[in-house]
A and B are shown apart, each in its own frame.
Chain A
Amino acid sequence: DAKTTQPNSMESNEEEPVHLPCNHSTISGTDYIHWYRQLPSQGPEYVIHGLTSNVNNRMASLAIAEDRKSSTLILHRATLRDAAVYYCILRKAGNTPLVFGKGTRLSVIA
């Protein structure tokens, strides 16, 4: 799987937007960009995924650079409940498992 690079940690104030970056310069044309997050003492949960176009869902937005070598997960209004480790994962279309990196630990300050 192609490699992703994320900052180890980030901090945000409550109720402000958060932009979590991910670099994936070796991404191939068939790689999807997935984001998962892991809240304390829980298993990971799916957040969002995309291929080329920006994507929105009830949890977040995913902005994908035009050359697809980077992407940004956007939480529009951070809450204390969003404090978690966020993982950016590249997946090829096909039946292969998720491979997790170290992710970004997001702290949210009240």
Chain B
Amino acid sequence: DVKVTQSSRYLVKRTGEKVFLECVQDMDHENMFWYRQDPGLGLRLIYFSYDVKMKEKGDIPEGYSVSREKKERFSLILESASTNQTSMYLCASSVRWWANTEAFFGQGTRLTVV
């Protein structure tokens, strides 16, 4: 089974901290994605990556950065956490979309910034 694993299910961090959310996939997928999900706003794309060391901004990249040093790992970085970044964060991966196949999601990390 394809597996996308997010390092933590729940996290509590303080305002101003640097926060790392880690995502690992075990299916050799080229594409990886980070979304956040908030009540009433749905899932919004933060960043995505088509390959190692490649990154593209999504709809809401402000306040975030990403790192993809290895194909299987995609990290989301909150440079200085703020309370408005309290949210559910979801990682996903897929093969290249040429064949229009499916994306696989992790279970999510619920981040609370206090």
Given contacts A100-B43, A102-B42, A103-B42, contact A93 B107 (CB under 8 A): no
User: At the interface, yes or no: B61 with Cβ under 8 Å from chain A?
Assistant: no
Tell me if B50 and A95 are in contact (CB < 8 A). yes
CA of A93 to CA of B101, assembled, Å: 10
Residues A43 and B102 in contact, CB atoms below 8 Å apart: no
Q: Which residue of B lies closest to A95 (CB)?
A: B97
Q: Do A46 and B103 touch (CB < 8 A)?
A: yes
Which residues of chain A have C-beta atoms less than 8 A from B100's C-beta?
32, 49, 91, 93
Q: What 15 new A-B contacts, CB under 8 Å, besides A36-B103, A44-B103, A96-B97?
A: A32-B100, A42-B108, A43-B106, A44-B90, A44-B92, A44-B105, A46-B103, A49-B102, A91-B97, A91-B100, A93-B100, A95-B50, A95-B98, A97-B31, A98-B33
Residue numbers in B under 8 Å from A99 (CB-CB): 45
Interface size on B, residues (CB 8 A): 24
Interface residues of chain B, those whose CB is within 8 Å of chain A, are 4, 31, 33, 35, 42-45, 48, 50, 58, 90, 92, 96-98, 100, 102-108
Closest CB in chain B relative to A43 CB, distance in Å: 3
Report the Cα distance A91→B104, complex, angstroms.
16
* Cross-chain contact B50 with A43 (CB below 8 angstroms): no
Chain A, residues 54-97, CB within 8 Å of chain B (1/0): the string is 00000000000000000000000000000000000001011111
- In the complex, which of the residues A34, A46, A93, A98 contacts B98, with contact meaning CB atoms closer than 8 Å? A93
Tell whether, in the assembled complex, residue A97 and residue B90 are in contact, meaning their CB atoms are under 8 Å apart. no
Residues in B neighbouring A101, C-beta threshold 8 A: 42
Provide the residues of chain B in CB contact with A41, threshold 8 Å: 108
Among A46, A93, A97, A102, chain B packs the most CB atoms within 10 A around the CB of A97
Residues of A contacting B108 with CB < 8 Å? Answer: 41-43
